[in-house]
Amino acid sequence: AGYGPGVAMLPPSRTSEASWSMSRFSNASEDVRPLIQLDPEGGSRQMIRYLDSGDGSGSPGSPMSPMGSAGSPSGWSSRQHQCHERTWGKWLLEEVMAASSILSLVFTCFIYNAVFLMVILPEVGKKHWVQPLAVVFNVTWVLTMWSYLQAHLQSPGAAPKEWREFVEQVGDALAVAQPRREWQPGQASFCRPCMTLRPERAHHCSICNLCVLRFDHHCPFVSRSRKQEVKNCIGFRNHKFFILLLVYGMLLAWIGLFSTFPEMIRFLAAFMNLHRGLPWPEAGVSKTSAGLFLMFDCIAVMFAMLFPPLVLVHLPLAANNQTTIENQYLNMPNPYNLGSTLANLTQLFGSPGWDWVLPIHPLHPVDDGVSFQRGDLDFGEAMRLSALDSPQDVEQLWQIRYQVSMSNLAKKFRQRSSNPCIGCLQ
């Protein structure tokens, strides 16, 4: 009440997390610069409403998120509440979609092996096909299920602790850009719902309610929940698994459909004859087994129609080193296109090797999710690779890629050494 209109206190649970990001805006543009005040009684940080700049949340110069009538904060907290409302509304649906994906894969594996290979093929005189089809189908099924579980269980990637420490260390020397729906290579931006600075190519998922490194999209089929909060997107750390899931899922559907197609026609005709009052023609195969087999083919047809369009969309994007969101950017040519499909795919799959075909994390990654190779600039191959193993090289690489002003950085360190209070406030 003592700070005038438009002042919103950060929720206590977010104060420590956001404190390092709130003071990073002294060199940002006026329309995204929050103002910091100190509570004379409790010393808690306060944030005056920052102004919008025409990104759809209001008009330039208009206040963002006024205080509620009861004095409750409405800036970050109201957007947090809206995100949770959307999460609760979709939680059950996404849980059902994820569970149905797993159950469909388990069902197809059981029916193909227990019914098609063990019962139908020997009955129709094709026993010699059992072993080769069993190897091909089951190997592909294992890779598909493995890829799904990796995409389902692995985190898409949030800003690491090292990034927050880097932001705190460089302070005002780090230029902060306003988030826009356009290419912003080598620029950190401020996430209003999370109240944090995020690196390039990171975006906020309103369903998961977190900023995801190299965010691609939120996929309900691979989502998982923790405490009723949907917690998975497709991002930097599980994008490889998602691509492999699409490829192996498409191959699995085609193998299952093409290998069973003659028998599918045969049993469809048998059920049609049974409907006309004719006797069941397949004495060695029960009607129950035949019905389960046709259910398998229905799922195979559905997957064979679902996966190819997804592969045709996401694989070319990966080959161009683009995400689904970035595919809409038109302000400049793709700055992350490295000039060849192989070089672009290494950004997700790591250096070429046998681990490309397995749903495991790259054995030799080429990026860290915070800074990315640029096709229009050369930061040095040796520095980029050594930075993945050395914290000192990582910091140096980030300073170069985010164009940290060394003069401002030196000035900040001098101020901290001469006046510790400034360091506490910043």
Active site residue 298: no
C-alpha 346 chain-centroid distance: 17
CA atoms within 13 A on the CB side of 424: 8
358 CB-near residues (< 8 Å, 6+ apart) = 143, 146
What are the structure tokens assigned to 388, written together?
A: 């993945």
Catalytic residue among 109, 194, 219, 233: 219
Q: Where are the alpha helices (DSSP H) in 227-286?
A: 239-275
- How far apart CA 93 and CA 325 sit, in angstroms, is 24
C-beta of residue 299 within 8 angstroms of C-beta of residue 104: yes
The one-letter amino acid code at 58 reads G
Residue whose C-alpha is closest to residue 220's, from 100, 106, 361:
100
Give 56: exposed, middle or buried? Use CB within 10 Å, 0-12, 13-18, 19+.
exposed
Decide if 10 contacts 45 (C-beta within 8 A).
yes
E-state strands within 80-186: 176-177
- Going 157 to 163 to 168 to 171, the CA torsion angle's sign is negative
Length of the chain: 426
Active site residues: 219
